[in-house]
Amino acid sequence: MLPMNWQRTILIAFLSGHPPQKIKPMQSHSRRNFIQTAALGAATAASVPLTAADSKQPAKTSRTIETDVLVCGAGCAGTAAALAASRAGARTLLVEKAPFAGGIITSVGLPYFDGIAHISTKRVVVRGIALELLAKSGVCSPDAVTLPKHNPTIPNTFEFKLLLDRLILEQKPRLEVLFNSFACDATTRDGCVETVTIANKDGLVRVKPRIVIDCSGDADVAAWAGAPFEQNTEVQPLTLHFRINNVTPEPSLTLACRSALQAAQERGELPFYYGPGVMFLFGKNEVYVHGVRVPADPTNAADLSRAEMQGRADAHAMFRAWKKDVPAFKDAYFMEAYPWIGVRESRRIIGQHILTEEDLMTSRRFDDAIATGCWYLDLHPNKTVSGSANDFDPKKVQPEPYDIPYRSLVPQGLSNMLVAGRCHSATRGAHASTRVTATAMAMGEAAGMAAAISIKTKTPIPSLKGALVREQLQAQGSGPFTEAQG
């Protein structure tokens, strides 16, 4: 077996050397060749010679796992998909690159359940697992029909990790999870995904699933498997969320923070920002901040790495500006930045139906509706916008609750794959509404239910009736609530 430092070198080379493929995914054989080339280079450069025992162990897949459902990504959509599939009886493997579930809520730190309720009436439009998580976080009752706010926040993002851990463990042995694990390849035959390769501490692990649900956010696995997709040349900017403690609350704090950032940008200390959102969400002297704005391509490893570093630099530049110019921050200290920069937009699969802005704005009804969306068309520009997150032209676009069809979760050309979350099939404008947390959970739950039904009935994913999926969701208090009455 290769020494640990060489394994790490090989894995880093492998992961960073996989550029995004816009039309066709890299084939398995070429990726294996790349790994072998990286291994040879690492061995040549190393100063410690191979032992006899090491030289007998070539680079290869360490083991194979067979499962009914493979869910790639344990964010909002993926966690809901895995819980739904396993609760419906399917053997499910959940794979996540972070050491915990929760995605944007826990890795990025966004505590909002955006999309769970109508903005005007506060009527709940996403129930099921999303409402379950909100209730178990102590925010509302399990049978809530309306909420005090249309976008409620959870009180503690660490405790949310613990909640997801408990729910995942409750489903053992049907549900297994592998954290610190990257999906990094997919092979197909005749339109069927045969294997997905994951990289983790075991090495390269081959998974043979009957159904794959891509909840990676970036449609990584779908793209590598050959599914068609779209990605704009310029996507929405990325945002790092952070927290500052020992801040003195005062009525004019937001305006003072905004003025300080304007001055910092004029001094050349801050490339871009928005807002900023400066809120006392977690403690009486602690502010949670979202205002970092980094233009980047999140499907390009080098650019994403640059964005992570730029996000950290910008977050601390904001803190220093406030320490300098805002008296409320006189004794403040930088508490933490969350581990990942948040991504709003990247690949969107081309599915059996592409959800459009017209579908949203006309509240079009679909026979195969499996979820409801209600968030506004939330497009962030790649420039500074002081006092707001958006640059509306001419005004904010707010749809009424609308249907999300099952067909928007089904990629073209693959017989055993679903997607859920922000990489589902939608135009850029529609996606600006469907990409948010609670809506992603609703799509994930529907995808998990669909996968379980597909396995039970031996029906290919593209042939499965969305109406049947909706019926099963509604039987357990979930599914679309587009026209429900409060």
pLDDT at 36 over 90: no
Does domain 241-337 correspond to CATH entry 3.30.70? yes
Q: Which residues have a Cβ under 8 Å from the Cβ of 58 and sit 6 or more positions away?
A: none
Q: Which residues have a Cβ under 8 Å from the Cβ of 477 and sit 6 or more positions away?
A: 127, 128
Q: Where are the domains of the chain?
A: 66-231+350-379+392-475, 241-337
What CATH number was assigned to the domain covering residues 66-231+350-379+392-475? Answer: 3.50.50.60
Which residue type occupies 153? T
Segment 371-378 shows an average pLDDT of 98
Question: Distance between terminal CA atoms of the chain?
Answer: 62
Pseudo-torsion of CA 374, 363, 481, 109, nearest 10°? -20
Segment 285-297 shows an average pLDDT of 98
Percent of the chain with pLDDT over 70: 87
Q: Which residues have a Cβ under 8 Å from the Cβ of 98 and sit 6 or more positions away?
A: 74, 106, 107, 179, 180, 339, 340
pLDDT at 406 over 90: yes
* Mean pLDDT over the full length of the chain: 90
Q: Which pLDDT belongs to residue 58?
A: 52
- The predicted-structure confidence for 315-346, as pLDDT tens digits, reads as follows 999 999 999 999 999 999 999 999 999 999 99
pLDDT at 269 over 80: yes
Q: Which pLDDT belongs to residue 413?
A: 97
As a whole number of angstroms, the distance between CA 112 and CA 155 comes to 10
Contacts 24+ apart (CB under 8 A), 8-17: 9/38, 9/42, 10/35, 10/38, 10/39, 10/42, 10/59, 11/199, 13/38, 13/41, 13/42, 14/38, 14/184, 14/199, 15/182, 15/184, 15/199, 15/301, 16/301, 16/302, 16/305, 17/301
Instruction: Enumerate helices (H) and strands (E) in the chain, giving the number of each.
Output: 13, 16
Segment 367-374 shows an average pLDDT of 98
- Taken as a whole, the chain contains a residue count of 486
As a whole number of angstroms, the distance between CA 101 and CA 109 comes to 12
pLDDT at 485 over 90: no
Q: Is the pTM of this model over 0.85?
A: yes
Quick one: pLDDT band at residue 24, thresholds 50, 70, 90? very low
pLDDT at 458 over 50: yes
pLDDT at 454 over 90: yes
Quick one: pLDDT band at residue 62, thresholds 50, 70, 90? confident
- The predicted-structure confidence for 157-180, as pLDDT tens digits, reads as follows 999 999 999 999 999 999 999 999
Q: Which pLDDT belongs to residue 22?
A: 41
Contacts 24+ apart (CB under 8 A), 475-479: 476/128, 477/127, 477/128, 478/127, 478/128, 478/129, 478/442, 478/445, 479/127, 479/128, 479/369, 479/370, 479/371, 479/446
323: three-class secondary structure by DSSP: helix
370: three-class secondary structure by DSSP: strand
- The predicted-structure confidence for 410-426, as pLDDT tens digits, reads as follows 999 999 999 999 999 99
As a whole number of angstroms, the distance between CA 441 and CA 425 comes to 16
- Reported as half-sphere exposure (CB side, CA atoms, 13 A), residue 458 has a value of 0
Q: Which pLDDT belongs to residue 59?
A: 57
Phi, psi values for residue 82, rounded to 5°: -65, -40
As a whole number of angstroms, the distance between CA 356 and CA 351 comes to 12
134 neighbors 128 (Cβ within 8 angstroms): no
335: three-class secondary structure by DSSP: strand
Percent of the chain with pLDDT over 90: 85
- The predicted-structure confidence for 194-232, as pLDDT tens digits, reads as follows 999 999 999 999 999 999 999 999 999 999 999 999 999
